[in-house]
């Protein structure tokens, strides 16, 4: 007597639920997939889909500089439960989860596929797990279930296990860098249970149907941004707007030479942030008609997340890993000279002036609590406020760099 089974799987920190019921996939949709746990590996139901998740925050909080971040890393949750289709009793299924590869776009484009990071220019591939060199899957299922890590970085991270007639939970530490990752999940039904009906002959006489199901997902990693193409989702990891320089624009866009190869697009942000930085640049022009245009340096990468200054795929509040707060598309740096090489540095160091600060405070005069960097703890007082929208960052003489909170 053959028995039909039902598989219930949820996969995501946001608890996106997938129901997989026997009898939904016709035989002609079957393709070969791996690994061959039991039966004939040529028969497998394949499902392709997409998932969404924010990137991990930095390992350290801003204040104090050496404090651990309790929100680090962000764990994406894979949940596996197998049950009988008819009476609901739990059955034992095998499973695997593997982060296969990063999906990179053209090295000439700073688009959403690579999150604004050009892997070939970093000198190392896009991380598949956090921390980038030592990340590991964590098993958090019931005692009856199991999970074993079988590969670690630099190989594609992978865990295999069994549901054990119970609940298997796999925690995946998401990288700090935004981008697209390709993930495979595989679930194997126990003997006498079928994945699909009518299915095909298996190698075991008298059995019909598929005994393994493969799920191929593109995991879209990015800071949650409101978007019109997900009507049932309040926020989705999506794409910031880009600040565009035109002949009429009151600003000039610049980028440090060391950052250009790895991060060719550095002027992405929220709609509010881009509107305000344009208005600040216009105020500077109106206040100083004899001077040049403000030079806008870094905002955020196309999907936010880590904007690593040392091109090592992570960013923390440590020396050499600046831009800790350039994760949410809400902050910008303004250069220490304008387009005519006039001094626009602030007064942290001798020789600075407050021309930029005056333009910023003309637009945002009130003290407010800026949008905190992704993963940071909101602390009353410096640096998160309430505070003014302008901050003067010490650099080298004759002045400091202007940092502006735009939301």
Please report, in tens digits, the pLDDT of each residue of the chain (407 residues total): 333 333 444 332 222 222 222 222 222 223 345 444 344 444 566 778 888 899 999 888 776 767 888 889 999 999 999 887 777 889 899 999 999 999 876 655 556 678 888 888 888 889 999 999 999 999 999 999 999 999 999 999 999 999 999 999 999 999 999 999 999 998 888 877 766 544 443 445 555 556 778 888 999 899 876 544 344 444 445 568 899 999 999 999 998 655 678 888 899 999 899 999 999 999 999 999 999 999 999 999 988 999 988 888 988 777 667 788 899 999 999 998 999 999 998 887 666 889 999 999 999 999 888 887 776 666 555 556 688 899 887 654 445 889 999 98
Rounded-to-integer distance, Cα 120 and Cα 106, Å: 10
Task: Please state the φ and ψ torsions of residue 46, each to the nearest 5 degrees.
Answer: -115, 130
Q: Name the region of 293 (left: φ>0; alpha: ψ -120 to 50; beta: rest).
A: beta
Longest dimension (CA), the chain: 89
Specify the pairing of strand 193-194 against strand 3-11: parallel
What is d(CA 396, CA 310) in angstroms, rounded to the nearest whole number?
19
Side-chain-facing half-sphere of 384: CA atoms under 13 Å: 13
Tell me, what's the pLDDT at 226? 54
CA–CA gap between residue 394 and residue 407 (Å, rounded): 22
Contact 20, 213 (CB under 8 A): yes
Specify which residues 294 forms β-bridges with.
Answer: 251
Q: Which residues pair with 405 in a beta bridge?
A: 331
pLDDT at 190: 80
Whether the CB-CB separation of 284 and 250 falls below 8 Å is answered with yes
- Orientation angle between helical segments 355-363 and 271-287, nearest 10 degrees: 130
Where does 22-70 show beta strands of DSSP type E?
45-53
The structural domains of the chain, with segments of one domain joined by +, span 3-225, 240-407
pLDDT of residue 52: 86
d(CA 101, CA 126): 9
Give me the pLDDT at residue 339, please.
96
CA atoms within 13 A on the CB side of 120: 8
CA distances from 90 to 1, 5, 7, 62 (A): 19, 10, 10, 46
Handedness of CA 33, 39, 42, 43 (dihedral sign): negative
Q: What is the pTM of this model?
A: 0.83
> pLDDT at position 214, please?
81
DSSP H stretches of helix in 66-153: 119-122
Name the CA dihedral angle for 164, 136, 173, 262, rounded to a multiple of 10 degrees: -150
**Residue keyed to tokens 């624009």:** 249
pLDDT of residue 14: 24
Q: What is the Rg, in whole angstroms, of the alpha carbon atoms belonging to the chain?
A: 26
Phi, psi values for residue 92, rounded to 5°:
-95, 115
* Tokens 């930085």 -> residue: 277
């Amino acid at each position: 007597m053959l028995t039909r089974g039902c598989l219930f799987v949820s996969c995501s920190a946001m608890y996106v639920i997938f129901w997989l019921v026997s009898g939904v996939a016709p035989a002609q949709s079957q393709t070969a997939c791996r690994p061959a746990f039991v039966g004939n590996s040529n028969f497998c139901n394949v499902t392709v889909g997409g998932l969404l998740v924010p990137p991990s925050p930095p390992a350290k909080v801003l204040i104090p500089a050496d404090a651990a971040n309790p929100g680090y890393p962000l764990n994406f949750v894979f949940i596996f439960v197998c049950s009988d289709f008819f009476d609901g009793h739990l059955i034992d299924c095998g499973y695997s989860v593997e982060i296969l590869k990063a999906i990179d776009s053209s090295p000439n484009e700073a688009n959403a596929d690579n999150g604004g990071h050009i892997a070939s220019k970093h000198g190392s591939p896009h991380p598949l797990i956090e921390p980038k060199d030592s990340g590991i899957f964590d098993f958090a299922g019931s005692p009856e279930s199991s999970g074993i890590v079988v590969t670690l970085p630099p190989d594609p991270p992978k865990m295999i296990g069994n549901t054990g007639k119970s609940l298997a939970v796999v925690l995946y530490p998401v990288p700090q860098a935004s981008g697209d990752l390709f993930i495979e999940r595989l679930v194997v039904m126990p003997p006498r249970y079928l994945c699909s009906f009518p299915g095909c002959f298996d190698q075991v006489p008298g059995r019909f149907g598929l005994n393994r199901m493969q799920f191929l997902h593109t995991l879209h990693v990015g800071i949650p941004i409101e978007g019109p193409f997900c009507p049932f989702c309040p926020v989705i990891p999506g794409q910031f707007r880009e600040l565009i320089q035109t002949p009429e624009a009151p600003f000039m866009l610049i980028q440090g030479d060391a950052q250009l190869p790895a991060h060719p697009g550095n002027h992405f942000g929220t709609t509010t942030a881009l509107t305000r930085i344009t208005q600040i640049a216009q105020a500077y022009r109106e206040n100083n008609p004899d001077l040049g245009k403000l030079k806008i340096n870094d905002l955020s990468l196309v999907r936010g997340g880590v904007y690593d200054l040392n091109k090592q795929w992570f960013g923390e509040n440590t020396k050499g890993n600046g831009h800790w707060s350039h994760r949410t598309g809400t902050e910008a740096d303004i250069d220490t000279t304008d387009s005519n090489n006039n001094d626009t540095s602030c007064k942290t160091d001798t020789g600075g002036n407050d021309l930029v600060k005056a333009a910023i405070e003309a637009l945002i005069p009130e003290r407010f609590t800026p949008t905190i960097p992704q993963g940071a703890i909101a602390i009353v007082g410096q640096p998160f406020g309430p505070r003014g929208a302008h901050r003067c960052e010490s650099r080298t003489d004759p002045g400091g760099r202007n940092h502006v909170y735009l939301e």
